[in-house]
Amino acid sequence: MSGCASTLSFALQQPVPGVADIICIASGKGGVGKSTLTVNLAAALSCQGKVVGVLDADLYGPSVALLLGTDDGVETTPEGKAMPKQRHGIHSLSIGNLLAPEAGLVWKGPLIAQAMEQMVYDVAWPSLDILLIDMPPGTGDIPITLLERLPVTGAVVVSTPQRLAAVDAERAIALFHEYDVPVFGVVENMDGYVCPCCGKINRLFAGGIVEPLARKRHVAYFGSVPLDPAASAATDAGIPFLLRDPQSPSAKAIAEVADKMMASLRRERANPKIAEDA
C-alpha cells in the first residue's frame, strides 16, 4: 500500500465499548441513496435478530433522524453519555437529533474530529452486534477522522449507475484501501424505477457502470437496488421501506445485500488476512 497509509498511526485506534463490528456505508458522491440504504440495511439485520446501531456521521446533511422518525433532543445517562434513540428495533444517533436545521452550522476541520469522537465514544451504545456508520459524501475530514480512530471491520460502497457517481465511488474505495479497511462490496442504487401506472421499468441513468467498477477495483458486486417511488413516501414518514413493504423489489434487493454483507463479515472475522486478499 502506498504513501499515505504508512504515515498513519494506528495506535490512535480505540475500540468502541460494547460494539462488536463497525461497518461503514459510503458513497463518495452525495444523494445516491446511501442513508436510505443504511437504515434499510439496519432494518434487514435487525429482522435477522442482530442488535444493530446506526451512527449518522454525515454532519453536513444528517438524514438518519428523519429516515428513522426519531425525535429531537437526546437524553444523557448519569455518567453524561448520550442515549441512542431506539425505533423500529434500531439504535441510532444523528446530529439531526441534536440540532435544529436553522442552526446553519459550519463545521471546521478540528471541530469535526471532536464532534465525531463524541458521537462515537460518549454514547451509551447497548451491546451491539454491528454498528453501521452512515458516512458523509466525499473523502474529507470526517472519513479521515473516523478511519484513523475507529477499528472499522469493513465497508460497503454505494453508487448510482452514472459515471459521475462511479468516479467518486472509486475514490471512496481507494480511501478505504489506503486505510487497510476491506471493502466488502459495491451496491448499485437507483438503476431504474417501476412505473406505478404500466409496470414498465424505466432506467434513470446510463447503467452498466457499477459492476465493472467493482471488478476494476477487485471488490465484490452486491447487486442492484431499484428505486421505489412509494418508498420515498415511507421515507418521509420515517419508516424504513424494508419494514413497510418487505416484498417490494427494492426491499428484497436490500435484504440480499444484507446477506452478502454478513457473509463477508463472517469471512473477515474467520480469517482477516484471507478475506482481505480475496
The answer to whether 175 contacts another protein (rule: CB under 8 A) is yes
Number of chain positions touching another protein (CB under 8 A): 64
* DSSP element (H, E) containing 85: strand 85-87
Smallest distance, Å, CB 247 to another protein?
Answer: 20
The answer to whether 69 contacts another protein (rule: CB under 8 A) is no
Distance CA 254, CA 251 (A): 5
Selected binder of another protein within 197, 247, 273, 277 (CB under 8 A): 197
The answer to whether 39 contacts another protein (rule: CB under 8 A) is no
The answer to whether 172 contacts another protein (rule: CB under 8 A) is yes
Distance CA 121, CA 166 (A): 32
The answer to whether 79 contacts another protein (rule: CB under 8 A) is no
- Look at residues 123, 128, 126, 127 and name the one whose alpha carbon lies nearest to residue 57: 123
Smallest distance, Å, CB 205 to another protein?
Answer: 5
- Residues 232-271 interacting with another protein (rule: CB under 8 A): 232, 235-236
Selected binder of another protein within 198, 247, 273, 277 (CB under 8 A): 198
Smallest distance, Å, CB 71 to another protein?
Answer: 14
Selected binder of another protein within 202, 212, 215, 272 (CB under 8 A): 202
Smallest distance, Å, CB 196 to another protein?
Answer: 6
The answer to whether 20 contacts another protein (rule: CB under 8 A) is no
Which residues partner with 188 through β-bridges?
Answer: 159, 224
Q: Give the list of residues 6+ apart from residue 18 with CB closer than 8 angstroms, or none.
A: 125, 126, 127, 128
Neighbour-count burial of 226, counting CB atoms closer than 10 A to its CB (0-12 exposed, 13-18 middle, 19+ buried): buried
Smallest distance, Å, CB 191 to another protein?
Answer: 11
Contacts 24+ apart (CB under 8 A), 262-269: 262/45, 262/48, 264/154, 264/182, 264/184, 264/185, 264/220, 265/21, 265/23, 265/130, 265/153, 265/154, 265/184, 268/153, 268/154, 268/182, 268/184, 269/21, 269/153
Point out which residues bind another protein (CB under 8 A).
4, 28-33, 35, 59-61, 63, 66-67, 96, 100-110, 112, 136-141, 143-144, 160, 162-165, 167-168, 170-172, 174-175, 178, 193, 195-198, 200, 202-206, 227, 229, 232, 235-236
